[in-house]
């Protein structure tokens, strides 16, 4: 793990819970004045540890409550195919997460859509956009039991 002290870790935990916290509030929580606190945050950003600050949206309230996990096998493992595949899948807004895997499947993605009909549309778009997919298997989440974006720092 990066060379972080307790103050850095506290700042990161606080920002993971609420990225809108004011600099003064962060500084007070770690017993610093605002200037040294700002310098720490700047260092964490410049090092890439603090990548970005975002808003987390509620998929159910936005009508996107259908979560699918798609596992893919391919017969093509060339560098060119890989780059094309990654670029194509990365452009699909429904794909929330996308991984190259070890094990039985080569790739896995998390897909967030409105319902089964929307997933079927996504599925057809996926399989018709990429040559060389030999097996596309999907499973569907019935209930989210834990979701977090907070890393254990």
Q: Which domain holds residue 116?
A: 59-141
Q: Residue 1: its pLDDT value, please?
A: 56
Q: Residue 130: its pLDDT value, please?
A: 94
The answer to whether residue 148 is domain-embedded is: no
Give dist(CA 100, CA 61) in Å, integer.
Answer: 30
Give dist(CA 43, CA 129) in Å, integer.
Answer: 41
The answer to whether residue 54 is domain-embedded is: no
What's the pLDDT tens digit per position in 81-127? 999 999 999 999 999 999 999 999 999 999 999 999 999 999 999 99
85, 119: one domain: yes
Domain total for the chain? 2
13, 68: one domain: no
The answer to whether residue 12 is domain-embedded is: yes
Q: Burial, 98: exposed, middle or buried (Cβ in 10 Å; 0-12, 13-18, 19+)?
A: middle
């Amino acid at each position: 793990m990066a060379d972080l002290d307790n103050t850095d870790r506290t700042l990161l935990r606080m920002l993971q819970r609420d990225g809108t916290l004011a600099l003064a509030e962060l500084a007070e929580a770690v017993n610093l004045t605002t200037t040294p606190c700002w310098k720490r945050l700047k260092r964490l950003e410049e090092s890439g540890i603090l990548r970005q600050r975002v808003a987390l949206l509620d998929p159910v309230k936005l009508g996107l409550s259908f979560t699918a996990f798609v596992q893919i096998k391919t017969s093509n493992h060339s560098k060119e195919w890989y780059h094309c595949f990654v670029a194509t899948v990365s452009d699909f807004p429904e794909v929330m997460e996308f991984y190259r895997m070890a094990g039985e499947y080569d790739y896995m993605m998390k897909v967030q859509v409105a319902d089964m009909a929307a997933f079927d549309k996504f599925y057809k778009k996926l399989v018709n956009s990429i040559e060389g997919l030999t097996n596309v298997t999907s499973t569907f989440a019935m209930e989210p039991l834990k979701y977090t974006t907070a890393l254990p720092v």
